[in-house]
């Protein structure tokens, strides 16, 4: 009898001919998530099993696996030969000490000599005489004993399902460059795209010396928290302080944010192209702030050719906060450090700036030289 973690996967099933490819990426991702913990990963039909693992780190293993996209659910279980005595012995360990229970059997091996109902009855009956405190309740039991008879002469016995993260394996839906601020929204945006299988590479713009080391540490922490899902342990940063200074000096104050956002998009596009990312990702949500009106979004889109994905576009702030709490980035996001956008923040930002007005104000700047200067500050950080 061997203690294992059973991993069931989700949408991968749907991908027809691509299934082999999806499964390969998925197992590489599981390995990445379990890096540093002793284990073996085995594939059986329709399942993965983690075996021979460091038992002291069991909780951590379950936690890490449940965050991997593509995981539908996982269970702590026992792997045994498929004869009734072995299954029963495992069932005695999975069954509760007392109260009501139900045995539920699934047979992947349809040639197995007993039907599911017969296994339920036999194991249920033996459990009842083995432990007098137990009672069967087939309608609303307090506990379950699940038996999964596999095709290869083995059976899995377990008591519960831990829901997984769902989604598709990261790496199966292209790659995107995430504009990661220190706020609440952009980490959630990155999570959403990774959930659909995209490789998400974070890029942060800072305004050193206007922003301090604490702000940088905060973003590194956010990127690290996000990497538990995206499996990307890298962060790219670029300094835009000189751009903010120039905008502040030469352009209309109400366009501060709009103009800076256009610089960010241009710089992001260059970096994306250099690294082969296929799109930009932001945490923008329609109408959330002045720069996120449809006019604001259009003015940033106008300076790039790459598609800009905004997975939070239709989310309320409340919904975003709820998700950020769930994925564990909220507490870090609300730490009080200056973001580069709050330096030089105008009192009355333009809400629906006309493109002609924006271009006229931007015309006062040497856009190309400012971008070049920013590119010189590019940093690549391994987290
Ligand atoms: P919050 O509204 O919680 O502060 P936010 O920082 O995401 O979240 P905005 O400041 O309005 O909201 O920025 C909109 C989007 O622009 C962000 O979601 C992010 O994608 C991008 N962005 C803003 N500031 C930066 C930055 N300093 N570095 C990288 N991307 C940024
Ligand atoms: Mg912000």
Which bound ligand lies closest to the C-alpha atom of 179? 1
Has this prediction a pTM greater than 0.95?
Answer: no
Q: Is the pLDDT of residue 106 over 90?
A: yes
Listed residues 133, 163, 193: the one ending a domain: 163
Predicted confidence band at 99 (pLDDT cuts at 50, 70, 90)?
very high
Same domain, 214 and 329: yes
**What is the percentage of the chain residues whose pLDDT exceeds 70?**
98
CA distances from 17 to 14, 172, 195, 257 (A): 9, 14, 21, 47
CA-proximal residue: ligand 1, atom 17 (nearest):
283
Please tell me which residue, 345 or 157, carries the higher pLDDT value: 157
Instruction: Please give the Cα distance from 64 to 58 (Å, whole number).
Output: 10
CATH number at residue 93: 3.30.2130.30
Instruction: Please give the Cα distance from 182 to 342 (Å, whole number).
Output: 11
Whether residue 367 is contained in a domain is answered as: yes
CA distances from 129 to 124, 224, 304 (A): 9, 51, 72
Predicted confidence band at 14 (pLDDT cuts at 50, 70, 90)?
low
Same domain, 148 and 21: yes
265 lines ligand 1 (CB under 6 A): no
Whether residue 304 is contained in a domain is answered as: yes
Instruction: Please give the Cα distance from 46 to 242 (Å, whole number).
Output: 54
Ligand 2 centroid distance, CA of 265 (Å): 15
Listed residues 123, 139, 163: the one ending a domain: 163
257 lines ligand 1 (CB under 6 A): no
Whether residue 233 is contained in a domain is answered as: yes
DSSP-derived pairing of the beta strands 162-163 and 154-158: unpaired
Instruction: Please give the Cα distance from 357 to 245 (Å, whole number).
Output: 20
Q: Which two tokens stand for residue 318?
A: 């409340």
183 lines ligand 1 (CB under 6 A): yes
Domain of residue 104, residue span: 2-163
Same domain, 264 and 350: yes
Same domain, 182 and 121: no
Q: Is the pLDDT of residue 20 over 90?
A: no
82 lines ligand 1 (CB under 6 A): no
Predicted confidence band at 19 (pLDDT cuts at 50, 70, 90)?
confident
3 state SS for 307-369: CEECCCCCCCHHHHHHHHHHHCCHHHHCCCCCCCCCCCCCCCCCCCCCHHHHHHHHCCCCHHH
Whether residue 170 is contained in a domain is answered as: no
pLDDT of residue 10: 77
Comparing 134-138, 177-181, 270-274, 345-349, which segment has the lowest mean pLDDT?
A: 345-349
pLDDT of residue 59: 96
Same domain, 209 and 93: no
Sign of the alpha-carbon torsion through 264, 270, 271, 277: positive
Q: Ligand 1 pocket check: which of 178, 184, 185 to mutate, most ligand atoms within 8 Å of Cβ? A: 185
Same domain, 206 and 76: no
CA-proximal residue: ligand 1, atom 4 (nearest):
183
pLDDT of residue 250: 98
Ion ligand 2 residues within 5 Å by Cβ: 181, 183, 339
pLDDT of residue 113: 96
* Pick from 311, 314, 355: nearest CA to 196: 311
What mean pLDDT do residues 194-223 have? Answer: 95
Task: State the chain's mean pLDDT as an integer.
Answer: 95
Predicted confidence band at 177 (pLDDT cuts at 50, 70, 90)?
very high
3 state SS for the chain: CEEEEEEEECHHHHHHHHHHHHHHHHHHHHHHHCCCCCCEEEEECCEEEEECCCHHHHHHHHHHHHCCCCEEEEEEEEEEECCHHHHHHHHHHHCCCCEEEEEEEEECCCCCCCCHHHHHHHHHHHHHHHCCCEEECCCCCCEEEEEEECCCCEEEEECCCEECCCCCCCCCCCEEEEECCCCCHHHHHHHHHHHCCCEEEEEEEECCCCCCHHHHHHHHHHHHHHHHHHCCCEEEEEECHHHHHHHHHHCCHHHHHHHHHHHHHHHHHHHHHHHCCCEEECCCCCCCCHHHCHHHHHHHHCCCCCCEECCCCCCCHHHHHHHHHHHCCHHHHCCCCCCCCCCCCCCCCCCCCCHHHHHHHHCCCCHHHHHHHHHCCCEEEEC
Which bound ligand lies closest to the C-alpha atom of 205? 1
Instruction: Please give the Cα distance from 176 to 198 (Å, whole number).
Output: 7
289 lines ligand 1 (CB under 6 A): yes
Which bound ligand lies closest to the C-alpha atom of 285? 1
What mean pLDDT do residues 83-87 have? Answer: 98
Cα 193 to its chain centre, rounded Å, is 8
Predicted confidence band at 311 (pLDDT cuts at 50, 70, 90)?
very high
pLDDT, tens only, 266-308: 999 999 999 999 999 999 999 988 889 999 999 999 999 999 9
Comparing 15-19, 27-31, 264-268, which segment has the lowest mean pLDDT?
A: 15-19
Q: Is the pLDDT of residue 341 over 90?
A: no
Q: Which two tokens stand for residue 93?
A: 């360990």
What mean pLDDT do residues 98-122 have? Answer: 96
Same domain, 113 and 150: yes
Same domain, 152 and 188: no
Sign of the alpha-carbon torsion through 158, 164, 166, 171: negative
Q: Is the pLDDT of residue 215 over 80?
A: yes
Ligand 1 centroid distance, CA of 205 (Å): 10
Work out how many domains the chain is built from and give that number: 2
Whether residue 169 is contained in a domain is answered as: no
283 lines ligand 1 (CB under 6 A): yes
Same domain, 130 and 186: no
204 lines ligand 1 (CB under 6 A): yes
Whether residue 168 is contained in a domain is answered as: no
pLDDT of residue 204: 97
Same domain, 207 and 320: yes
Same domain, 109 and 187: no
Q: Which two tokens stand for residue 55?
A: 């038992």
Comparing 223-237, 308-322, 333-347, which segment has the lowest mean pLDDT?
A: 333-347
Q: Which two tokens stand for residue 69?
A: 């996209």
Comparing 18-32, 61-75, 194-208, which segment has the lowest mean pLDDT?
A: 18-32
CA-proximal residue: ligand 1, atom 16 (nearest):
282
192 lines ligand 1 (CB under 6 A): no
Q: Is the pLDDT of residue 227 over 80?
A: yes
CATH number at residue 217: 3.40.50.620
pLDDT, tens only, 37-70: 999 999 987 899 999 999 999 999 999 999 999 9
Ligand 2 centroid distance, CA of 165 (Å): 26
Listed residues 118, 143, 163: the one ending a domain: 163
Same domain, 140 and 205: no
Ligand 1 centroid distance, CA of 168 (Å): 26
Whether residue 179 is contained in a domain is answered as: yes
Whether residue 231 is contained in a domain is answered as: yes
Predicted confidence band at 155 (pLDDT cuts at 50, 70, 90)?
very high
**What is the percentage of the chain residues whose pLDDT exceeds 90?**
88
Question: Which position has the token pair 């923008």?
Answer: 284
Q: Which two tokens stand for residue 217?
A: 């540490």
284 lines ligand 1 (CB under 6 A): yes
CA-proximal residue: ligand 1, atom 21 (nearest):
179
């Amino acid at each position: 009898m061997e203690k294992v973690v059973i991993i069931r996967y989700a949408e991968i099933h749907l991908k027809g001919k691509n299934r082999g490819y999806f499964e390969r990426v998925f197992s590489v991702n599981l390995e990445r998530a379990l890096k540093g913990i002793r284990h073996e990963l085995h594939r059986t039909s329709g399942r993965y099993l983690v075996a021979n693992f460091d038992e002291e780190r069991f909780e951590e293993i379950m936690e890490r696996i449940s965050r991997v996209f593509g995981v539908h659910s996982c269970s702590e279980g026992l792997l045994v030969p498929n004869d009734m005595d072995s299954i029963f012995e495992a069932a005695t360990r999975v069954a509760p000490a007392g109260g009501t229970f139900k045995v539920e059997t699934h047979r992947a091996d349809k040639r197995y000599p007993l039907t599911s109902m017969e296994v339920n009855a036999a194991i249920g009956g033996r459990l009842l005489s083995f432990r007098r405190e137990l009672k069967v309740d087939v309608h609303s039991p307090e506990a379950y004993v699940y038996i999964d008879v596999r095709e290869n002469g083995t059976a899995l016995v377990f008591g519960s399902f831990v829901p997984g993260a769902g989604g598709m394996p990261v790496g199966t839906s292209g790659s995107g460059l995430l504009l990661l601020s220190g706020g609440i929204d952009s980490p959630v945006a990155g999570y959403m795209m990774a959930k659909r299988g995209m490789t998400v590479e974070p890029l942060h713009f800072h305004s050193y010396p206007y922003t301090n080391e604490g702000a940088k540490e905060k973003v590194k922490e956010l990127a690290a928290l996000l990497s538990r899902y995206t499996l990307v342990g890298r962060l790219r940063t670029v300094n835009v302080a000189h751009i903010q200074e120039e905008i502040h000096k030469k352009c209309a104050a109400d366009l501060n944010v709009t103009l800076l956002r256009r610089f960010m998009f241009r710089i992001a596009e260059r970096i994306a192209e250099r690294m082969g990312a296929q799109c930009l990702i932001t945490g923008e949500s329609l109408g959330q702030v002045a720069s996120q009106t449809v006019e604001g979004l259009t003015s940033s889109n106008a300076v790039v050719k790459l598609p800009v994905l905004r997975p939070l576009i239709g989310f309320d702030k409340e919904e975003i906060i709820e998700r950020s709490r769930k994925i564990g980035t909220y507490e870090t996001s609300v730490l009080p450090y200056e973001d580069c956008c709050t330096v030089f923040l105008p009192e009355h930002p333009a809400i629906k700036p006309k493109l002609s007005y924006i271009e006229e104000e931007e015309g006062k700047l040497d856009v190309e030289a400012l971008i070049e200067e920013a590119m010189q500050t590019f940093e690549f950080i391994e987290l």
